[in-house]
Amino acid sequence: MGLLFYGSSERPIRIPDRVLAHVKVVTATKLRRGESFTLSWRHPDEEEGGRSTIWIQPAIPLRFVFGSVEPEVLDPTLLQAFANSANSSSGLSIDLDDSPSEQPAGASRRTV
């Protein structure tokens, strides 16, 4: 399980490594271009609240921490879907229940 530290909060957002790797690439690409976007997710049943959305922009510090030492293999289809979503008016929405052990068919050898 990976962690996304956002802004000055000491409480990280827990995201499966596989999903976090794709979010990292999309986020880095958008921020490198100076583009801001929203990132949304549904809270797991054991957490309070129903869902959260954060505003991702270059002035807000981010730190990605991965549970695994080995880099994740990126799925180009998922990466494109995340990029398209981040470019939409509704922003990037991720699934925290995504199984990190299942590698989608057609995944590339690109790692992060």
Residue 109 lies inside a defined structural domain of this protein:
no
Structural domain includes residue 110: no
Band the pLDDT of 105: cuts 50, 70, 90: very low
| DSSP secondary structure letter of residue 101 | T
What is the reported pTM? 0.82
Chain center to CA of 71: 15
pLDDT digits (tens, 9 = 90+) for 76-85: 999 999 999 9
Is 7 a member of any domain? yes
* Number of domains observed in the structure of the chain: 1
What is the mean pLDDT of the segment spanning 7-13?
92
- Please name which of 87, 84, 79 lies closest in space to residue 104, comparing C-alpha atoms: 79
pLDDT, one tens digit per residue, over 27-49 is: 999 999 999 999 999 987 777 77
Task: Examine residue 102 and state whether it is found in any structural domain, yes or no.
Answer: no
Q: Which residues contact 66 (CB under 8 A, 6 or more apart)?
A: 2, 17, 20, 21, 72
Residue 21 lies in a domain: yes
